[in-house]
Amino acid sequence: MKERLLERLLEVANKPFEALKDLRAKKKVIGSTLADVPEELIHAAGLHPFLILGTNEPIRVSAALMPDNCCSLARSNLELVLAYQPDFFDGFVLSQVCDTTQHLCDIWKRRFQDRYFENFLAPRQVSRPSARQWVAVEMRRLRESLGRYAGRAITDDDLRRSIRLFNENRALLRRLYDVKRRAPGLFSNREFFDVVKAAFFMDRSEHTELLKPLVQWAEGEAEKGAADGHFPAVVAGIVVEPPQIYDLLDEVGANVVADNLPTASRYIYYDVSEEGDPIEAMAERHVSRPNFSPINDQVERIYTDLIELYREYAAQAIFYIHIKYCESQDYDLPDIKRKMREEGIPMLVVETEYQSTHLALMKTRIEAFCEAVLGRV
């Protein structure tokens, strides 16, 4: 039963370009990059939002275009569109959240002069009223731009319909996450996060229709899934790549019960209000989302948010997924580690890159951590 319900979702998550190869025949595909591009706007323009999440395939082209010490997320995003999927996208909306993403926009735009291209200039501070005002202004600019490209203005009703659809999708994913927390025997971490990932690629209505029976089945089976032998854990970071890291967590019996990933909770939590002006509602959601390392002027949230998640979900460990050369994480990590030591919270930092192929070492580290710190053999 489960296999049948998951089949299409896992296929899309793991081989999106094959599973969705006919996408462009139906709609224009707009690729966006992390983080926080308002997908509802792209959808409301009658376009297909597709989140570009890099490639684990070898780097052949993009290495020559950027410095060696650039993170593998940026490098493999550019690699994906230049080398592996040059014809998949009709256009792009790229988010600027750090030096790398800002300057990547320039390189990208020059390489795709024949495509639609827009920056999303997200505010890089969120605690002051100006941020809330700015993000609304920027979303309006994006709305105009997408409307011009789509050849029709995006009306408030269009936008409300998209918001409702995305809210419904998020609500179903939250329900599934709830079951997963209680019943780790039902799904592996890999399966759950693959289901979430599929949402970023496929038509959101189709995803929602696939989720409905899955959630219904999971809720019905929840009692049977409360298998022993798992321990609750928090995953922190930006992306978990390669996705085999989830398999490694499954192997040691970690049940991810909470996270702060832009590729999971930062999407799932915090709906857009369906009341009032839709842009204002989206702006409100933007500034109330969980902490995200590059956008942070409340300086202690790098660890207070994690401690909160750890306590709220009674976790036993935190796995911090560190993308090598991510400058933002590089600056945060020593203080996060210190704080966790002070609080007596077991945390393992897993350093990785999109092209990491030698997972044996990572596996040994995760196993050793579980044995030594958590006493699990």
Partner 1 sequence: MQGEKPKSAKELAKELTAQYLEEARTAHEHGKYVAYTTAVSPVEIFVAHDIIPIYPENHSVACITKRLCTELSEAMENEGYTSHLCAYARCDLGYRLVGKSPMGGIPDPDFLLACNAQCFTLTKWFEVLSRQYRVPLFVFDTPQWIRDQEARKSILRYCVEQLKELISALEELTGKRFDYDRLREVVRLSDEASRLYRRFLDMASYKPSPITIFDALIHMAITVYLRGTPQAVLYYRTLVDEVQQKADRGEGAVPNERFRLYWENLPIWFKFRDHFNLLASYGAAILTSLYVHAWSYEFDLQKDPLETLAENYVSVFSNVTLEERAEMALDLFRRYSLNGMIMFINRSCKAVSFAVHELRDLLSEKTGIPALVFEADMGDPRFYSEAQIRTRIEAYLETLERLEG
Q: Which residues bind partner 1 (CB under 8 A)?
A: 64-70, 96, 98-100, 102-107, 110, 119, 121, 123-125, 128-131, 133-134, 137-138, 141, 294, 296-297, 299-300, 302, 325, 327-328, 330-335, 337-338
Rounded-to-integer distance, Cα 183 and Cα 167, Å = 24
For 367, counting Cβ atoms within 10 Å of its Cβ (0-12 exposed, 13-18 middle, 19+ buried), the class is: middle
The least distance separating partner 1 from the CB of residue 324, rounded to whole angstroms, comes to 9
Measured from the CB atom, the residue of 124 and 164 that comes closer to partner 1 is 124
47 contacts: CB under 8 Å, gap ≥ 6: 27, 28, 29, 30, 90, 91, 146, 149, 150
The least distance separating partner 1 from the CB of residue 54, rounded to whole angstroms, comes to 17
The least distance separating partner 1 from the CB of residue 95, rounded to whole angstroms, comes to 11
Measured from the CB atom, the residue of 100 and 162 that comes closer to partner 1 is 100
Measured from the CB atom, the residue of 18 and 69 that comes closer to partner 1 is 69
Measured from the CB atom, the residue of 199 and 321 that comes closer to partner 1 is 321
The least distance separating partner 1 from the CB of residue 298, rounded to whole angstroms, comes to 9
Q: Respond yes or no on whether the N-terminal peptide bond of residue 67 is cis (omega within 30° of 0).
A: no
Measured from the CB atom, the residue of 31 and 123 that comes closer to partner 1 is 123
The least distance separating partner 1 from the CB of residue 369, rounded to whole angstroms, comes to 17
The least distance separating partner 1 from the CB of residue 130, rounded to whole angstroms, comes to 4
Q: Give the residue ranges of DSSP H helices in the chain.
A: 2-14, 16-19, 23-26, 39-44, 72-79, 99-111, 129-150, 156-182, 189-201, 204-221, 244-251, 265-268, 278-287, 301-312, 327-343, 359-372
User: Looking up tokens 């501070």, which residue turns up?
Assistant: 125
Helix (H, G, I), strand (E, B) or coil at 126: coil
Measured from the CB atom, the residue of 8 and 339 that comes closer to partner 1 is 339
